[in-house]
Amino acid sequence: MLSEVFDKETDQVFETPIVQQTSYWSEVKRKIGINSYAFNFKVKLSDIHQNSPDSQAITSDLLVILEYIDRNHCYAYVPYGPELEPDTDCQGVFLEELSECLRSYLPASCIMIRYDLFWESHWARDKDYYDEGGNWTGAPENRVQELRFNFSTINWNFQKTYTNVLPTNTVFLDLRKSEDELLKAMKPKTRYNIGLSGRKGVQVKVRDIEDIEVWYQLYSETSQRNGIYLHDLEYFRALFTARVNCTQSPAEVLLLVAEFDGLPLASMFLVLSQKRAVYLYGASSSACRNLMAPYALQWEAMRIARSRGCLEYDMFGVAPRPDPEHPMYGLYRFKIGFGGSIFHAMGCWDYPLDNDTYSYFKTWEMNRKGYHLSGG
């Protein structure tokens, strides 16, 4: 299936709407002391698309982040990659061949490759996995997922992880619509809150690196209020200052702050990559919540993204369905109010390279307390 795999410099990663697969993301990781690799691979279209008569080989690529477990062991993490998505029944075989080809390029201490797949879940379009209200009930248990994904593979080696690193459920908005069409597609309460925020005098401004402390204060407050993982300030400094020149896959990062009479009420990182805008991180104050600043912030972000030529807006992370018991239920209610459609991804899959050490790692990971979402 794969005719060729070879490494390349990370600044040669192809242009992509997936920010975690860009040269920019590699630079963010470098700034915080994490190494990454980039690889090209060739594959015939007829091998990954069952109904395609085209035997032409195409070239795609992926960015791999090297994560250390301890001094003697690491694993290769592929955030939202590879971007190239084969037909469902071809995915396991394709990814197995890719994994075996990558093995020789990775350190001997690498115990596994973890693919954080942004491919659509095999069960996302199966009506049997939706309730009477049209809400997705989720993928089946891991054992069933593994049976399907490993079908036709040689080694039967892929294992579904028990938690995911990046969000597996998100909401996409179509920015090809006019502003009036976007507003009309929103829930009435969301549309009303956007208007209310404007009438109350909330203003959204684009800020620079000197205002990173403003962001971090709001972010720290949000983290403490919601009990979510707290990145340190230097991570966000790297996120905001990473620049890549002479590259095929840059990204533009904007720090937006919603204010009222000079008081910061909400803030977010908006990342533009190719024709996609991503709401990567957000934060809000507990003060003046009646001013609905987060609604003004999101609406202005969408307007900015449209003005920069983006065709879609990724809300980046919601609960898979309106379940009040889910930790991301609040985000679901907020984000789904802006309209758009929910996308359900495959999530993290491991391909062990050292089965014995991987077994120990998997047990350790399952016993860890807590779980957090990050930008990968």
Q: What is the pLDDT of residue 206?
A: 97
Residues 157, 254, single domain; the answer is: no
Same-domain pairing of 137 and 183:
no
- pLDDT, average across residues 347-376: 79
Residue 194 lies in a domain: yes
199 lies in a domain?
yes
246: confidence class by pLDDT, cuts 50, 70, 90: low
Same domain, 35 and 175: no
Residue 172 has pLDDT above 70, yes or no: yes
DSSP string, 47-93: HHSTT-----EEEEEEEEEEEESSSS-EEEEEET-------GGGHHH
Q: How many domains, in total, are found in the chain? A: 2
128 with 239, same domain?
A: no
Give the Cα separation of 345 and 231 in Å (integer).
24
What pLDDT is recorded for position 3?
67
- 189 and 337 part of one domain: yes
- Residue 371, pLDDT above cutoff 80: no
Same structural domain, 307 and 350: no
More confident residue, 376 or 333: 333
The tokens describing 102, both together, are 């990558």
If one compares 249 and 357, the residue with the highest pLDDT of the two is 357
Write the CATH number for 93.
Answer: 3.40.630.30
Is 266 found in the same domain as 351? no
Domain that holds residue 82: 2-165+345-367
Averaged pLDDT for residues 216-239 = 93
**pLDDT band with cut points at 50, 70 and 90 for residue 53:** confident
Collapsed DSSP state (helix, strand, coil) of residue 46 = helix
- Are both 131 and 207 inside the same structural domain? no
* Within-domain flag for 372: no
Q: For 85-100, how does the pLDDT look when each residue is reduced to its tens digit (9 = 90+)?
A: 999 999 999 999 999 9
Q: Are 61 and 140 in a shared domain?
A: yes
Average pLDDT over residues 339-365: 95
Q: Per-residue pLDDT for 104 more than 50? A: yes
Whether 148 and 221 map to the same domain: the answer is: no
Same domain, 157 and 268: no
| Same-domain check for residues 102 and 235 | no
